[in-house]
Chain A
């Protein structure tokens, strides 16, 4: 199994992603960052998920604010960052190690084999890459849930994870790491609805029932906000390509992050038609990201829900 470290901000879809990934990868730990909630909450939520699923892995708390500017938590995940899941206070404690250190050490130890998944703002990852310049080489790759090749969510063109720390995203995209991107254009192809919550409830057991509750909460929020009880399967979509490559298609792009424009800040700018390649101009810049462009959504959501259902009553 592929060794994996997840940098996350749980978060409902983070929780699903962690539970899904733990069954398909050799999960070596979680590092937390601000994002769906303040970092104190995301760390506590990560511990709760581990406790719920009996995952005996280290959790390291990380950075609580973006590189530039400040952080104002949104309420889409509720006050705790994980409302709707009635999980007890965790008995486990975070390890006495900073998230950034854990990322660097895990990558070094895995000798080129570690996949780093980043499903929150990219602050920890950016700081790790800049602190240890060899990290980009030590990692097998970074798989990111963030950005979009078309429409945004938190802003007309910007996705929330990138928008929460655009400078960190720019640092990561300009590193030499191999990067896979699950942007909104990709995650919107996999739609979760109430039938998935029902499937989990049918399976029974603490993990599936808890995830069903989270899904109910999240779908209800989306219904109140956008009018429909559906949600793209954001964070798990960063992992599916490694488990079921048959369900997805990726394409290389040169992607930059817009930092200046007030309206477009946080946009992942991709030259999708290679229009910069003209006889009178230099070659287009090297592709730095393999971005998901197509996914068999129904098959991918079924596969993820079945994995979580497999925790069953055990």
Chain B
């Protein structure tokens, strides 16, 4: 059976992804990275979410900054703690005394071919693990990424936050030869959390659902303030959903290039969505596909699946 490590930077939508994945998949641990907030916040928030849900998943802290890019701050979406809006419990246990990169490598080495990564923050930990242990690419079964976009971005006109936080790390991961899937903004924007979903959590009446409702209410308000949309994109769980319910998100193998130039396109996941041009010796021809890219989604079914799962935490 496949085992999973979630590499994350919780984060409101990370919290949803963790709770959703832990109910359906064999999640053997979390590794944290700076992204939506500082590494300290990411780690504390990961522990707090697990404590809330009674999960006690091992949490290994990772990189506190990107390879090259100076830190970005996601506080404009997630608040100063990285997960504002609810009374999360204090962490009920400590993080592992082991670096995220080592945890990934050692877990993969222990059972080659059985570990998959779910990467829903900047790709700094994953990239360094791949460079530190060249055999890791062969040991990993797959990497499921939330990041990038086939269309427009969010942090910049064409770049998505997770990728633009550490474009060089993304370039390493997309060039590693590990089977990759990417769910980007072009799809996650169609998966909208609305007031009615928050109401469902509140009606559930339990502690986990109530805290998640508060978190999502904060997140929705921030997104409404920023984008003026009635819903908030449920980004991170969309990397997990295809592993649980394969039919809800449709993928297409595409050549994906990570733009590293210093210009306005830095951090763009340039997906060659043209009809494949196989005249490889000609200028403008398509490169070989290196990633399964999400292109279509049943948005409502995705949100329902995650909300149903969260409600399940409060049932005996």
The chain B residue with its CB closest to the CB of A75 is B282
Taking the nearest CB of chain A, how far is it from the CB of B263, in angstroms? 5
Residue numbers in B under 8 Å from A72 (CB-CB):
283
Residue numbers in A under 8 Å from B257 (CB-CB):
156, 263
Q: Is A152 an interface residue (CB 8 A)?
A: yes
Taking the nearest CB of chain A, how far is it from the CB of B65, in angstroms? 21
Q: Once the chains are docked, how many angstroms separate the CA of A278 from the CA of B152? A: 16
How many residues of chain A are within 8 Å of chain B by beta carbon?
27
Q: Is A22 an interface residue (CB 8 A)?
A: no
Q: Once the chains are docked, how many angstroms separate the CA of A157 from the CA of B286? A: 11
Q: Once the chains are docked, how many angstroms separate the CA of A244 from the CA of B284? A: 34
Q: Is B176 an interface residue (CB 8 A)?
A: no
When the two chains form their complex, are residues A267 and B265 in contact, meaning their CB atoms are under 8 A apart?
Answer: yes
Q: Once the chains are docked, how many angstroms separate the CA of A258 from the CA of B268? A: 13
Q: Is A264 an interface residue (CB 8 A)?
A: yes
Residue numbers in B under 8 Å from A156 (CB-CB):
255, 257, 270-274, 286
When the two chains form their complex, are residues A261 and B259 in contact, meaning their CB atoms are under 8 A apart?
Answer: yes
B154-162, B190-198, B206-214, B241-249 - interface stretch:
B154-162
Q: Is B261 an interface residue (CB 8 A)?
A: yes
Among B225-274, those with CB < 8 Å from A are 226-227, 255, 257, 259, 261-265, 268, 270-274
Q: Once the chains are docked, how many angstroms separate the CA of A280 from the CA of B271? A: 30
A112-120, A125-133, A269-277, A286-294 - interface stretch:
A269-277
Q: Is A151 an interface residue (CB 8 A)?
A: yes
When the two chains form their complex, are residues A155 and B284 in contact, meaning their CB atoms are under 8 A apart?
Answer: yes
When the two chains form their complex, are residues A275 and B265 in contact, meaning their CB atoms are under 8 A apart?
Answer: no
Q: Once the chains are docked, how many angstroms separate the CA of A267 from the CA of B153? A: 15
**Majority DSSP secondary structure for residues of A touching B:** loop
Residue numbers in B under 8 Å from A256 (CB-CB):
264
Q: Is B93 an interface residue (CB 8 A)?
A: no
Q: Is B51 an interface residue (CB 8 A)?
A: no
When the two chains form their complex, are residues A153 and B274 in contact, meaning their CB atoms are under 8 A apart?
Answer: yes
The chain B residue with its CB closest to the CB of A154 is B284
Q: Once the chains are docked, how many angstroms separate the CA of A154 from the CA of B274? A: 10
The chain A residue with its CB closest to the CB of B227 is A273
Taking the nearest CB of chain B, how far is it from the CB of A267, in angstroms? 7
When the two chains form their complex, are residues B265 and A276 in contact, meaning their CB atoms are under 8 A apart?
Answer: no
Q: Is B81 an interface residue (CB 8 A)?
A: no
When the two chains form their complex, are residues B156 and A280 in contact, meaning their CB atoms are under 8 A apart?
Answer: no
Q: Once the chains are docked, how many angstroms separate the CA of A260 from the CA of B260? A: 11
When the two chains form their complex, are residues B275 and A157 in contact, meaning their CB atoms are under 8 A apart?
Answer: no
The chain B residue with its CB closest to the CB of A261 is B261
Taking the nearest CB of chain A, how far is it from the CB of B244, in angstroms? 30
Q: Once the chains are docked, how many angstroms separate the CA of A72 from the CA of B151? A: 30
Q: Once the chains are docked, how many angstroms separate the CA of A153 from the CA of B155? A: 26
Taking the nearest CB of chain A, how far is it from the CB of B136, in angstroms? 27
The chain A residue with its CB closest to the CB of B159 is A275
Residue numbers in A under 8 Å from B274 (CB-CB):
151-153, 156
When the two chains form their complex, are residues A270 and B259 in contact, meaning their CB atoms are under 8 A apart?
Answer: no
Among A206-223, those with CB < 8 Å from B are none
Q: Once the chains are docked, how many angstroms separate the CA of A280 from the CA of B72? A: 13
Taking the nearest CB of chain B, how far is it from the CB of A23, in angstroms? 33
When the two chains form their complex, are residues A269 and B151 in contact, meaning their CB atoms are under 8 A apart?
Answer: no
- Other than A156-B272, A260-B261, A278-B226, give 5 A-B pairs with Cβ distance below 8 A: A156-B270, A263-B257, A263-B270, A273-B227, A276-B156
28 residue pairs A–B, Cβ–Cβ below 8 Å: A155-B284, A156-B271, A156-B273, A156-B274, A226-B275, A256-B264, A258-B265, A260-B261, A260-B263, A261-B259, A261-B265, A263-B257, A263-B259, A263-B270, A264-B259, A264-B265, A267-B265, A269-B158, A269-B264, A270-B157, A272-B152, A272-B157, A273-B154, A273-B227, A275-B153, A275-B155, A275-B156, A280-B76
